[in-house]
Structure 1
Amino acid sequence: MPDRPSPEALRAYYAAQPSPLVAATGIVLDRAGRVLVLTPSYKDGLELPGGTVEDTETPEEGLARELKEELDLTAAVGRLLAVDSCAPGTLGRSLVVHVYLVGPLPADRAGALSFPDGEVSEARWLSPDEAVRQLPPRLAPRLRAALAALYSGSLAHLVDGVPQPGSPAGFAPADRAAREHAGGYDAAAHRAARPKALTAANVLFTDAAGRVLLVRPGYGEPGRWLLPGGGVDSDLGETPRAAAAREVREELGLERAPGRLLAVNWSHRPGYPARVRFLYDGGVLDAGTLARIRLAPGELLEWRTAPRRELRGLAGPHLRRQIKACLKALAEGTGPLELHRGRPV
């Protein structure tokens, strides 16, 4: 049996192997959704923040170091948006770029950038469209695909900035459809490339006076009121009805099986996953049951019952339309309703 190499010999062997350069790029956003674009002092053209990973750094550590050195910015490196594999260029080495979300930064931090190492001469905040137009051709597609991954909650697989056919984000829908019709996808790539939808289940409770039970979350927009409920854990095999019962138990401390399905609502805006909401009848809660409500600590701040006329000042327009459609279905004994953005189809 041959002698096993020492750890030092193994380290020297792997260190001497040819390998691609590894870089990390940050899509740094402010609260207005603008993208940070840099003017380097040592070359022409605009850049995105980041640089080459050094020594034993991870890409996340390398990006955090570059942000501090280039911009005096200490910020958490967020989720991975894209990976771009690039063929050898003028330096003769292939390159693998990891693209991460950073921010959104509040106004005070976005406006306090400086350039301590002198590698950056100017930093500008541009709209995404402006940034794509002004960045050089090797970077603009990378930014476009990374933003598509951000908004869709997915990941972009790129080669030289070009989204690959099986990429979950960035591949043009028209090109995807053409490839599907031509039978150009295997099962794995087809499953990855298909658009995804987020699914939620909510319950409409009323009291003896017909007022609607609403809850105020401790997250999101201040002053926003919602129906009890939340996301369906479909990856665990949970059904919408089971999710509605679980959310009522977790949020309100009540053990109540949902009643009949009142409506299914579909909403969508370009670039984002569609949202599908199942709305169930929770029945009428008497005073004793309302008194037993115990809110999930840290998640919900308060609950209340609201008459229909007060919904405008509490719920957003999409949810308000859904509630009113469900109240009408209850009163008339109709449904389930098919709703698009709260409007009956």
Structure 2
Amino acid sequence: MPDQPPPATPPPSASPYTDSVRAYCAAQPSPLVAATGIVLEPRGRVLVLTTSYKAEPELPGGGVEDTETPEEGLARELKEELDLSAPVGRLLAVDSRPSGPLGRSLVVHVHLVGPLTPEETSAISFPDGEVTEARWLTPEEAYGALDTRKGSRLRAALAALHSGSLAHLIDGVPQPGSPAGFDPARRAELEHAGAYDTAGHRAARPKALTAASVLFTDSAGGVLLVRPAYGDPDHWNLPGGGIDSDLGEIPRAAARREVLEELGLDLAPGPLLAVNWSHRSGYPARVRFLYDGGTLDAPALARIRLPRTELLEWRTVPPAELRRFTKPALRRQIESCLRARTTPGGPLELHHGRLVDGT
């Protein structure tokens, strides 16, 4: 057998890691597991770190050690790197990175951390010396500061946060069946080409949140509003809430349940006045079914009992004063429903509270 030429020497790696780091990783069981934190402050800015061991900016986090879960590993890294003890929140993305310069495949769990309080942000420090600088960047600034893979990972994780879903990534790239992060135009293109299987199609389809509300008025025509103990307490709402569709609840049943829970009144909703559709780019669409609750007399209003952990107070508001209490989109929905009460033709089809053309 003729002598074989010696194998060519591979070109030097462009990896930012040292030989000792690569040797350590190569000796570990495959795959490696890491946890990354999308650390946010109230204005939606993202925490991006400069470290002593890499030239490129990083997101907080690191390798999961020994018997740790990804959540435990991330909590430890946040404490060691930033002296931050904020709870690790929900899983936003999972990114599988094929074997590369580290010699092992890598699975990264991406979790939400925060939004941090002002006290937590001001207390951030660098006790172990690995982090040299921490910057709060807008998402767009962070995408540009991070390398392509980490920027894509961040973008998909924020898409999952806004949509209430989860992103499935390989090497930082959202996959076609990912419930979040995949390009909507590309998703539609694959659908039309018949490229999805049933499971991938169901996972990738856009989702909508559904709610049911009830319009009550008093004998003077004032609209019954409730003031929430959550969110913005300056914006009042109609009685109502989310439809528990995963429990088989239908909109009308949800409206009755919510009125009982919020007002203490067990009243069957009247006719459906309108269905409102609203949407905001990057977020699930919201569909609200609005029912006529009729007129409540003084004895009925006196029986109202609020759950204090959820609602702070109630009042009836003349239609002319709705602007002072409600967001514009809800005010338009209420005004449309008041007109629908006296106009024949069935329920209205609304978009952001405005009558849809052609209906």
- Normalised by the length of structure 1, the TM-score is 0.94
Matched, 1:271 2:282: yes
Name the counterpart of 1:123. 134
SS at match of 1:139: helix
Q: What corresponds to 2:56 in structure 1?
A: 45
Shift of 1:18: 3.3
What's the counterpart of residue 145 of structure 1? 156
Q: Deviations over 1:30-75 (max 9, x none)?
A: 0110000000111211000000011111100110110010011110
Partner SS, residue 246 of structure 1: helix
Match of 2:111 in 1: 100
Aligned to 1:344: 355
For 2:211, the equivalent position in structure 1 comes to 200
Partner Cα distance (1:256, 1:289) in 2: 10
Correspondent of 2:301 among 290, 298, 307: 290
> What RMSD in Å do the two structures reach over aligned CA positions?
1.2
Q: Which residue of 2 aligns with 1:244?
A: 255
2:325 aligns to what? Answer: 314
Large movers: runs of 4+ above 6 Å: none
The residue aligned with 2:68 is 57
The Cα offsets for residues 6-48 of structure 1, whole Å up to 9 and x where unpaired, read as xxxxxxxxxx993211100000000110000000111211000
Which amino acid is 1:200 matched to?
Answer: A
Q: Is the 8 A contact 2:149 2:173 kept in 1?
A: no
1:278-325 CA-to-partner distances (Å, cap 9, x unmatched) read 000001001111111111231111111111121111111110110011
- Measured in 1, the distance between the counterparts of 2:130 and 2:119 equals 23
Which deviates the most, 305-314 or 269-278?
A: 305-314
The answer to whether structure 1 residue 133 and structure 2 residue 144 are counterparts is yes
1:74-118 deviations in Å (ceiling 9; x for gaps): 101111000001111212111100000001112332233110000
Please give the alpha-carbon distance, in whole angstroms, between the structure 1 residues aligned to 2:295 and 2:149: 60
User: Which amino acid is the alignment partner of residue 220 of structure 1?
Assistant: G
Unaligned runs of 5+ residues in structure 2 are: 1-26
Whether 1:84 aligns to 2:95 is yes
Secondary structure at the counterpart of residue 178 of structure 1 = helix
TM-score (norm 2): 0.90
Aligned counterpart in structure 2 of residue 214 of structure 1, from 222, 225, 241:
225
**What amino acid maps onto 1:172 in structure 2?**
D
The aligned counterpart of 1:189 is 200
Secondary structure at 1:30 match in 2 = coil
CA contact (8 A) 2:215 2:291 kept: yes
Partner of 1:7: none
- CA-CA distance at 1:217 after TM superposition: 1.1
Distance, in Å, in 1 between the alignment partners of 2:196 and 2:74 is 35
User: Take 2:80 and 2:67, find their aligned partners in 1: how far apart are those partners?
Assistant: 18
| Comparing 109-118 and 153-162, the one that deviates more | 109-118
Distance 1:56 1:224 in 2: 47
Distance 1:222 1:263 in 2: 25
Match among 59, 68, 78 for residue 79 of structure 2? 68
Contact 2:64 2:74 in 1 (8 A): yes
Structure 2 CA distance, aligned partners of 1:192 and 1:62?
29
User: For 1:204-263, what per-residue CA distance to the aligned partner results, in whole angstroms no more than 9, with x for missing partners?
Assistant: 000111100111111011222100000001111111111001101111111111000101
Moved more, 133-142 or 120-129: 133-142
Matched, 1:168 2:179: yes
Q: Which residue of 2 aligns with 1:13?
A: none
**Aligned equivalents of 1:119, 1:335: Cα separation in 2:** 65
Q: Distance in 1 between matches of 2:268 and 2:342?
A: 20
Q: Identity over aligned residues, as a percent?
A: 75
> AA paired with 1:309?
A
Cα separation, 2, equivalents of 1:250 and 1:113: 42
| 1:328 alignment partner in structure 2 | 339
Which residue identity is paired with 2:204? A
Residue of structure 2 in register with 1:3 after alignment: none
Check 1:333–1:286 CA distance in 2 against 1; reply closer, same or farther (3 A cut): farther
Say which SS state the counterpart of residue 148 (structure 1) adopts: helix
Separation in structure 1 between the aligned mates of residue 334 and residue 197 of structure 2, nearest angstrom:
42
What SS is found at the alignment partner of 1:88?
coil
CA–CA distance in structure 2, aligned partners of residues 92 and 225 of structure 1: 57
- Three-state SS of the structure 1 residue aligned to 2:149 is coil
> CA–CA distance in 2 between the matches of 1:112 and 1:343?
47
Distance in 2, Cα, partners of 1:309 & 1:177: 44
Letter in 2 for 1:331: T
